[in-house]
Amino acid sequence: MQSTWMARAGAAAMALALAAVTTPASAAEKEAKPAAPAASGSPRTLQGYVEQEKAFYDHLRKVHPIFKYEKDGRLVGKYTISDREEEFVEFGGGKAYAEKTGEHASITYRLGQESILDLPNKFVGSKKCGECHPAQYEKWKRSRHNLVVRFPDEMVETKDLTKPQFGEAPILPPGITPDAVYAIIGTPRTKYGFLDAWLVRGTYHVEGGLLRDGTGTLVAGGNQHSRTWAESLTPEVAKQIASWVPGFPTKLEDFGDNGSKTWGLTSYGSKNRKSMMFQPATAYCEVCHSFKFDFKSQEELIQALGKPEELRKHTINKGISCEECHGAGAHLMGARASASSNCERCHQRFVWNADEAARDPRQAFNAYFKSRCPSCGTEGSQAYYTAHWESGMTCSTCHDPHEVTANDWRERVTVPGLKKQCQDCHQAQASMFVHNDVHGANKCSSCHMPSMMSCENFGAIQYTDLAGFDTQRTSHIFKILVDPKAKTLDPPPGKDRNWKEGAWRLAKKDGKPFVDLMWACGRTSWGDDDLESAGGCHSPTRSELSKDLHFTNQQQIYDRLMGWQNPVKQGVAEAKRLLDAARPAIAKAKLPPARLGQATLMANQAQAILDTVAADGSSGVHAPRYTIEKVKEAQVLAQGALDVVGAKAPKKVSMR
Region 523-549 average pLDDT = 94
- Per-residue pLDDT tens over the stretch 230-274: 999 999 999 999 999 999 999 999 999 999 999 999 999 999 999
Q: Give residue 226's identity as a one-letter amino acid code.
A: S
The reported pLDDT for the residue numbered 26 is 32
The reported pLDDT for the residue numbered 24 is 35
Cα separations in angstroms, 244 against 241, 454, 466: 6, 22, 10
pLDDT above 50: residue 484: yes
* Spatial CA neighbour of 117 closest among 32, 13, 16, 38: 38
Peptide bond into 235 cis (omega under 30): no
The reported pLDDT for the residue numbered 336 is 60
pLDDT above 50: residue 17: no
- Per-residue pLDDT tens over the stretch 211-226: 999 999 999 999 999 9
Q: What does the chain come to in residues? A: 656
Region 28-57 average pLDDT = 68
The pLDDT confidence band at residue 6, using thresholds 50, 70 and 90, is: very low
The reported pLDDT for the residue numbered 123 is 93
Report the alpha-carbon distance of residue 561 to residue 551 in Å, rounded.
12
The reported pLDDT for the residue numbered 595 is 95
Q: Is 386 within 8 Å of 511 (Cβ atoms)? A: no
Annotated domain spans of the chain: 126-326, 350-552, 558-645
For 19-33, 49-63, 69-83, 302-316, which range has the lowest pLDDT when averaged over its residues?
19-33
The reported pLDDT for the residue numbered 303 is 97
- Per-residue pLDDT tens over the stretch 549-581: 999 999 999 999 999 999 999 999 999 999 999
The more confidently predicted of residues 80 and 334 is: 80
The reported pLDDT for the residue numbered 337 is 58
- Per-residue pLDDT tens over the stretch 305-315: 999 999 999 99
Report the alpha-carbon distance of residue 195 to residue 218 in Å, rounded.
16
- Per-residue pLDDT tens over the stretch 174-206: 999 999 999 999 999 999 999 999 999 999 999
Report the alpha-carbon distance of residue 635 to residue 612 in Å, rounded.
14
Report the alpha-carbon distance of residue 564 to residue 555 in Å, rounded.
15
The reported pLDDT for the residue numbered 305 is 98
The reported pLDDT for the residue numbered 338 is 57
- Most confident residue range from 60-69, 395-404, 434-443: 60-69
Share of the chain above pLDDT 90, in %: 83
pLDDT above 50: residue 35: no
The reported pLDDT for the residue numbered 330 is 79
For 266-280, 323-337, 449-463, which range has the lowest pLDDT when averaged over its residues?
323-337
Mean pLDDT, all residues of the chain: 90
The pLDDT confidence band at residue 401, using thresholds 50, 70 and 90, is: confident
CATH assignment of 558-645, among 1.10.10.10, 1.20.140.10, 3.40.50.620, 3.40.50.800: 1.20.140.10
For 335-349, 374-388, 459-473, 583-597, which range has the lowest pLDDT when averaged over its residues?
335-349
Q: Is 492 within 8 Å of 462 (Cβ atoms)? A: no
Q: Could you give the strand order of the β-sheet that contains 78-81, starting from the edge strand earlier in sequence? A: 78-81, 275-278, 270-271
The pLDDT confidence band at residue 331, using thresholds 50, 70 and 90, is: confident
Report the alpha-carbon distance of residue 31 to residue 350 in Å, rounded.
33
pLDDT above 50: residue 352: yes
The pLDDT confidence band at residue 335, using thresholds 50, 70 and 90, is: low
Cα separations in angstroms, 329 against 203, 323, 540, 588: 33, 7, 51, 76
> What is the distance of C-alpha 442 from the center of its chain?
22
- Per-residue pLDDT tens over the stretch 609-630: 999 999 999 999 999 999 999 9
Region 436-456 average pLDDT = 93
* Spatial CA neighbour of 452 closest among 374, 529, 518: 374
Cα separations in angstroms, 4 against 61, 87, 309, 322: 14, 10, 31, 33
pLDDT above 70: residue 340: no
